[in-house]
Every structure is written in C-alpha cells, then in structure tokens.
Amino acid sequence: MRLRITSEHIKGDIIKRVEDLSGQSLLECYQCGKCSAGCPVVNEMDVIPSEVIRLLQLGQADEALDSKTIWICASCLQCASKCPKGVEFSSICDALRQIVLRKRLSTPRMDADEVSAIMVSDAPQMGVVGALRKLNG
Amino acid sequence: MKIPYYPGCTLHERALDFDVSARECAKTLGVELEELPIWTCCGAVFPLVTDSVMEILAPVRNLAYASREGDKLVTLCSFCYHVLKRANRTIRTDPEKAEKANLFLRADTEAREEIESYTREDYTGQVEVIHFLEMLRDLVGYEAVAKKVRRKLKDLRVAPYYGCMLLRPKKEMEFDDPEQPSIFEEFLETLGCDVVDFPMKTECCGGFQIVSDEDLAIACSRNVVSSAIKRGADVIVTTCPLCRYNLDKKQEEMAKEVRGFRKIPVIYFTQLLGIALGIDGEHIDFTDNYVDPRPVLAEKSLL
C-alpha cells in the first residue's frame, strides 16, 4: 500500500469530523493492538481495528472509509472494553459509517428490500431494526 | 409489589416465550409486572456518534411514559435494557441533548392527545432502568427466590451467556464487571444449578449482523456454542432474544459446517427459573426452540 502522508491530510476536515462524531481522540491510541486482538470479527476485516486508527492518525481517511471493516463491526464494544487508553473503536467505526451514510458516498449498506424473507418472517425484530439502523442510517 | 415493565417489540411478538415465562415467574415471586400503558420500540441500537438526538428520542419517550407509572422500569431484553439505560444516562448527563429531546416530547404532546397526560413535564432522567436479573437480586432478593424453589436443578450443567449489551460499556451500563461478571452465576446457584464457567460467556454472538452478513454472525455464535459444549454444559441460558436466535436457530447451519457437531439447547433464564419455581408447562413454552431442551430436562427429571 502506498500512502501519501502530509500535514494537510493529518489535519484534514474529515479527520476532525471523525474525532468530533466519535468523541474519541485518535492520538490517544498508541497501537498496542488489544482492540484488534479482542475483536470477535477481526478475521473477516480487510483492515484491522488498530490499523484503521493508525490510518486515521496518518490522515488517510479514504482508506478507512473504503474499508470493509466499518460494515463488519457489530458494535459489541469488546474493543472499547479492552483498550488501556479508553479509546472506543466501535464509536470511531460508527462515525465512519455515518460519514458514508449521511453523504451517500458509496453503497456498501443494506436497504430494507435486501433483508431476506426468512429474516423478515423468522428473526427477532430487534435484529432487523438494528441492522437497518446501523447499515442504512 | 407492582413494578412498571417495558417488554419491547421482540418480547411482544417473536419472543413471547420469554415474556410469558418472566411474567409468571414474577407473579410467583410476588411481583406484578405492569406493562406500560403506552410504549414504542426503543430503537434497538444506541447511537455511538455524539451528535445524534433523533436516535435517542424513542427510548426517552418510553422513559417519559414510564416516569408516570413509577420510579423504576424493569426490562428483560438486553438490547432494550442497553438502549434505555444509556439514553437515560444521556438525559442525566448532557443538558443540551436533554433540552432538545424534551422539545421533541413537547411537540409530541401537542400532536397526540392520547398521550397528553404523559408528557406534560420535562423528563429529567428520574426513572431507574433495571434488568429483571437486578430486580431478582436487589428487590426480591436471591434468598427469597431460593425459598420459593420447588425443584432444585442440581444435576443440570448450565452455561450462563451474558453477551455484550448488558455489560458494555462498563461506565455507562454499571451492570457488572465486564470481564468477570457474576450476577448470572449467582442467580443460577440460587436455583441450585451446576454452573458452567466458559471463556466465551461475554463474547459477541454476531448480533444484528445475522441479518446482513449471516456467515459472519454464525461464525461468532459457533465460537460461543462450541465453548459451552466443550466445558460440558447441558444447556445455555441467555437474556437476549437475538442471542437466543443466533445461538439456537443457527445450530442447523453450524452442524453442516462442523463434523460431529453436538447440538445444545439455548433457553431464556426465565424459563429455567420457571422450572425451578414449579410453574406449569403452558407458561414454559419450548416450541420455538430449534434445539429442543425437553429431552435433557426430562433426563434430569426436571419436566
């Protein structure tokens, strides 16, 4: 991966937006990796949680916003529970999702008509409502 | 003792087995769960972004309804408990959001006459949201529960599955230790169960991802189920309808992927409590379970 790192990127609006929306300070993270180690779905991610934070620290918002990771997180909050610095990756993930969903930047999200018939007829309502709120906005 | 009760959407329909068993257990223990006269969906997920007021309106509205019924609100579903408790905390700690939320509640009142009497005053976070397990421990008392136990479950090896939403984030949920919780174990010991400790008891079942990424959620659930089986559990108990669904109903898929996969029943803690209290069968319904718990319960002479 080739990254172009400049102070403009690092101090960019979108990085500040992630911090504001998530309520997290990205520079608190010292890359110990406990969030990634504790994440139950890390194997499915293309960029692991601690790497997403590192990308953001380096001003690489697009890399983070384009990752599969942000749609895979189930908000179980294990990362937040494990972090020795109190950084909540799950909130950073929600912020990244919201940036995409609010601007409709791309479409890796779920529309109501994509919920399978079996889920509509069988799954607890909380699952369907939860998925659509997280993945559709 | 009467106490206001918020069932939530899932317990109102798909998890009636949870709702019915809980109400009957409460009655046997001298508690009348009084369903709120008006309630709506809590929204199912709590917004993790800082600027969201809209997403806490549903839970705050429900809390405002509850404030007219009493100073406490009991709920059973882990998601409802999580969302109501965090929204309540937001109202208590964030004056700006509290004011905005109350502005919306007032607009509601003007628009809907039937709830007029419910939301005349601002909601200030005065209701205490408690989980049914906390009600058993703190209001009824585990000792009082133990005295009502008619059938000791001593031969049943039970794995308590906490999942995520009751415990995390610790500073907001204040439910139990997020790494080494004990409220569930103490409850099961009260019933005389042989409690099985297993390392995945606070891991995620995949949650709502079952709807959008089924394989991902099944992989999570399989880790939880396998861990309990490996520790020799006869049954897993849970407090959450979505966990129940993922852990129980998806064992069909788990069995396809893992050779020699042994199935294990997953039931609600109130169903187990009902059996211990000697509540009759019609209130302890297992017909919605994919893995039928009745054979193992019969084997232990509990049915």
DSSP codes, B164-211: STTTSSHHHH-SS-SSS--HHHHHHHHTT-EEPP-TTTTS---TTHHH
Instruction: Pick B50's closest partner by Cβ from A21, A43, A124.
Output: A21
Angle at B168 between CA B15 and CA B97, to 5 degrees: 90
Question: What is the chain A residue with the closest CA to B177?
Answer: A81
Residue A111 has what pLDDT? 85
Contacts of A129 in chain B (CB under 8 A): 9, 41, 43-45
Q: What is the pLDDT of residues B169-217, one digit of tens each?
A: 999 999 999 999 999 999 999 999 999 999 999 999 999 999 999 999 9
Q: What is the pLDDT of residues A45-54, one digit of tens each?
A: 999 999 999 9
The predicted model gives B160-171 an average pLDDT of: 97
**Residue A107 neighbours by CB under 8 Å, 6+ apart:** none
Judging contacts by C-beta atoms under 8 Å, the chain A residues touching residue B9 are 125-126, 129
What's the CA gap between A100 and A94, in Å, rounded? Answer: 10
Average pLDDT of the segment spanning B138-144: 98
Is the distance from CB of A79 to CB of B204 less than 8 angstroms?
no
Question: For position B254, what pLDDT does the model report?
Answer: 96
* Of A54-68, B96-110, B111-125, B225-239, minimum mean pLDDT range: B111-125
C-beta atoms of B9 and A126 within 8 A: yes
Q: What is the largest CA-CA distance in chain A?
A: 52
Digit-coded pLDDT (tens) for A88-123: 999 999 999 999 998 865 565 788 889 999 899 999
Q: Which sign does the torsion angle of CA B47, B53, B58, B63 carry?
A: positive
Burial of B46 (C-beta count, 10 Å sphere; 0-12/13-18/19+) = buried
* Residue A126: predicted pLDDT: 96
Band (pLDDT 50/70/90 cuts) for residue B116 is: low
CB atoms within 10 A of CB B282: 8
Q: Which amino acid is at B41?
A: C
Least CB–CB distance from B206: residue in A74, A93, A94: A74
Looking at residue A106, the DSSP 8-state letter turns out to be -
Q: How confident is the model at residue A137 (pLDDT cuts 50, 70, 90)?
A: confident
Cis peptide before B169 (omega within 30 of 0): yes
Q: Among all residues of chain B, which has the CA nearest to that of A44?
A: B216
Look at residue B109 in the predicted model and tell me its pLDDT. 64
For residues B294 and B286, is the Cβ–Cβ distance under 8 A? Answer: yes
Provide the pLDDT confidence category of residue B99 given band limits of 50, 70 and 90. Answer: very high
Chain B nearest-CA distance from A80, in A, is 7
Distances (CA, A) of B162 to B77, B78, B129: 12, 9, 18
Q: Are B66 and B127 in contact (CB under 8 A)?
A: yes
> Strand pairing partners for B129?
B73
Compare A3 and B292 and report the one with higher pLDDT: B292
Alpha carbon of B289 to those of A46, B186, B226, B293: distances in Å? 35, 25, 18, 8
pLDDT band at B114 (very low <50, low <70, confident <90, very high): low
Between CA B195 and CA B193 the distance in angstroms is: 6
Is the model more confident about A108 or about B251? B251
pLDDT digits (tens, 9 = 90+) for A20-33: 999 999 999 999 99
Residue type, B158: V
| Whether pLDDT at B111 is above 70 | no
The rounded distance, in Å, linking the Cα atoms of B19 and B25 is 10
* Contact check, Cβ <8 Å, B48/A40: no
* pLDDT value, residue B303: 87
Beta-carbon contacts of B246 under 8 Å, excluding residues fewer than 6 positions away, are B205, B206, B207, B210, B217, B218, B220, B221
Place of tokens 């139950």: A40
Q: List where CATH 1.10.1060.10 sits in chain A.
A: 7-106
Confidence bin at B121 (pLDDT 50/70/90): confident
pLDDT of residue B115: 54
In the sheet that holds B194-195, the strands lie side by side as B194-195, B157-160, B235-238, B266-268
The pair phi, psi for residue B153, each rounded to 5°, is: -100, 35
pLDDT band at B153 (very low <50, low <70, confident <90, very high): very high
Structure tokens at B138: 């703190």
Residue B122's pLDDT is what?
A: 87
**Cα(B263)–Cα(B266) distance, rounded to whole angstroms?**
10
Q: Read out DSSP for B98-143?
A: HHHHHHHHHHHHHH-GGGGGGSSS---S-SEEEEHHHIIIIIIIHH
Task: Name which CATH class applies to A7-106.
Answer: mainly alpha
Instruction: Tell me what pLDDT residue A109 has.
Output: 76
**Contact: B241, A126; criterion CB under 8 Å:** yes
Count CB atoms within 10 A of the CB of residue B297: 22
Q: Which member of A43, A126, A134 has the closest CB to residue B10?
A: A126
Rounded to whole angstroms, how far apart are CA atoms B15 and B10? 6
Which domains are present in chain B?
2-130 (1.20.1050.140), 149-299 (3.40.50.11810)
Q: Which pTM value belongs to this model? A: 0.96
Interface of A with B in 55-114 (CB under 8 A): 71-72, 74-78, 80-81, 88, 90-91, 93-95, 98, 110
Instruction: Tell me the pLDDT of chain B averaged across its residues.
Output: 95
* Cβ separation A94–B207 shorter than 8 A: no
Cβ(B208)–Cβ(B221) under 8 Å? no
